[in-house]
Structure 1
Amino acid sequence: MSMKNKIIIRAVLSGFCVLLVSCNTKKDENVVIDLKQVKKEIQAKENEYAATYNAGQLKEIGYYADDAITFYQNRPPIIGKDARYEFLKSDLENNTNVISFETKEVFVSHDGNMVVEVGYYKVTDSTKTPINTGNYMSLFEKRDGKYVCLRDMSASDGLTE
């Protein structure tokens, strides 16, 4: 076989491989996202987080990814699992306030693996009087079949005690 024929065969094989790979990596256009179901899943995560926080518990509930970062107002970002634990531990000492979250909107990636949540939070004191309200955004990623929060941040409406 001549060198020219080898080059032509390699070129044809290379072209076939490129075609094969490009056909196999097509986007999954048939994924149907049920926005109501995703919103329900995210709201359930928010409810579980609030219930755990309000009970003063420090336990892993699968809300945050280990590498999550939280941006609160007037403080440096909370980066990672250990920093989050220390923050919650100090925040829960002598806490009698109750927090609640309401998922207002979800924006879901085309493959359903990423969700941006826009929500509303309310903190009430022991007499159920609102002492802080505001809005938040959270970014979730599906890992091992469940959504976990990667990033979140909040903005207070300015209502404080």
Structure 2
Amino acid sequence: MSQYPMTAKGAEMLREELNELKSVTRPKIIEAIAEAREHGDLKENAEYHAAREQQSFCEGRIQDIEGKLSNAQIIDVTKMENTGKVIFGVTVTILNVETEEETTYKIVGDDEADIKNNLISVNSPIARGLIGKELDDVVNIQTPAGTVEFEIIEVEYI
């Protein structure tokens, strides 16, 4: 299996979700199945089938999270020296050379990506274009709107 890069915060969020699924959601589903069984005929028991479907989804998610955590390569950039180089886990501020618009992104793993919170996946076109570059570099990144020129104006290891 390949390793999944993940920030320390992302790994913690997955552990919390796993704990919630195992200690809260799973027992509720088991209780719902038991309650639905008491209603009799299982063939035409919609509550039973819905609870079983929910159980299947929950167990699948538990397996998914456990697999990701077991193959996670947790990278904590706060413990690294800031060399000004863009690597996984950094917070980078870029300037669109044409529009003078500044944007700040944190480069994270696929599971942590949330564009609304400026968390971009390491596999996104912008992150791939920035990885390995350094402070003050100018990079051309292919976007759906065409090639855009950005200048890296800040790299933070936070």
TM-score norm. by structure 2 comes to 0.28
TM-score norm. by structure 1 comes to 0.27
Structure with bigger helix share is 2
Structure with bigger strand share is 1
Who wins on radius of gyration, i.e. which is larger?
Answer: 1
